[in-house]
Amino acid sequence: MASSSHPLQTTEKENSLLEKVLKAFPSADLTEDDLIQNPQFCKLLAKLSSHVDSTGLTESLRKELEKAEEELQTETKRWMRPMIIHQLLEEMVQEYIVGKYRCTVTPDDDKFYGTLEQCLLAAKCDVQLHLTEGPSAVLGISSKHIQRILPSEQDVQDMEERLPKELEKHLKRKAFSILSYIQPESEKDSDGLKLEKFNHLPQLLKEERNRIEHLREANAEMAFRLTRQTHSYLNDLLEHMRLLQTLLLENRLKVQTKLDRKKLEYLEAKCQLGVQKIRVEMLAIQLDTYTASKIATHKKIREHLETELTATQKEKQAVENKLASYDMFGQEFKDLVEEYARLQVEIEAKKLAVDTLTKPEVK
């Protein structure tokens, strides 16, 4: 019964085809009802899914895209490497500036970080003002002006000799901080063990990311199945609700008919009881109003009236029969009767006028 009332019911084979198409194109804004209402389009997508991936790319285009992405990633790393190093050096300077107010620093450290800060500032000015190609049209300065604010060559040389070690220490602290954030239990380990764990950290993060992506895909698959199952359950629920509503209506009509019949019987009995009460009241009023002799007299009068009524009805019937027999004479007889009736009325009127005129004389 549910299949006959719901036009979008599908077979098991069609369900597998729909599931295949929806899985093959997850990014497309398609619903199961769209595919059911357009079966030819669904078949086209099913055939197309064997030639393209979920993003709509063919195998050759996907390989070209992967190659281009690898090249882009390589160039991005090459471009970002000096930017990252520059950012790390700025972090070192900022940490030193903040830390020197909390603890005493040596003159060598102060000289090293001061030289590093000046070199970074000069490099930043050189990049921002584009002074490598010629003098600035706005400020009228050149790279020679930037060179003047640089420390001495000896200070720069000393800074460059010490910089790799300091940068390594900074990177090690940063690496240990990241490791402690990801693996808090590694804080009590030695530096060597921490470095060993940090070297394996990219692989662990990659595995974790793959696991998360796998779980995301599994969740998407479960969400898809849950959506289809929910859709099916809702259709079944709606059909069952319609069936239940029909059954309730039929049962209600049957029960209502029985109730109406019983109510009618009750009202009839109540009316009969009311009629009997009225008759009792009428008899009581008659007993209170009339005596036995009056009732007997009324009965005689009633019998006399009924007798006269019967005689009058018989006389009326005889007259009607005579009138019916006169109908055979036609329209002339009817005109004669009407003229006779009119004359009778005039005679009665004149008699009444004569009586009215003669009454004063009698007095």
Please tell me whether residues 20 and 163 are part of one structural domain.
yes
- Report the greatest alpha carbon distance in the chain: 174
The answer to whether 125 and 146 have CB atoms below 8 angstroms apart is yes
Residues 40 and 179 in one domain: yes
DSSP annotation of 210: H
If asked whether residues 201 and 335 sit together in one domain, one would say no
Residue 310, in any domain of the structure: no
Q: What is the pLDDT along the chain (363 residues), one digit of tens a residue?
A: 334 444 444 566 667 777 777 777 766 677 777 777 778 878 877 777 777 776 677 778 888 888 999 999 899 988 888 888 888 888 888 888 888 888 877 888 888 888 888 888 888 877 776 644 555 555 666 777 777 778 888 888 888 899 899 888 888 888 888 888 888 887 778 878 887 887 888 888 888 889 999 999 889 888 878 887 888 888 889 999 999 988 888 888 888 888 888 888 899 999 999 899 998 888 888 777 777 787 788 888 989 999 999 999 998 888 888 777 776 777 777 788 788 888 888 898 888 888 887 765 444
The size of the chain, in residues, is: 363
Q: What's the domain count of the chain?
A: 2
Nearest to 157 by CA among 125, 112, 117: 112
345 is a domain residue:
yes
* Domain span holding position 172: 12-205
Give the separation between CA 263 and CA 15, rounded to whole angstroms.
55
Specify if 142 maps to a domain. yes
- Give dist(CA 195, CA 176) in Å, integer: 8
Question: What is the C-alpha separation between 266 and 113, in angstroms, rounded?
Answer: 109
Contact criterion met (CB below 8 Å) for 182 and 176: no
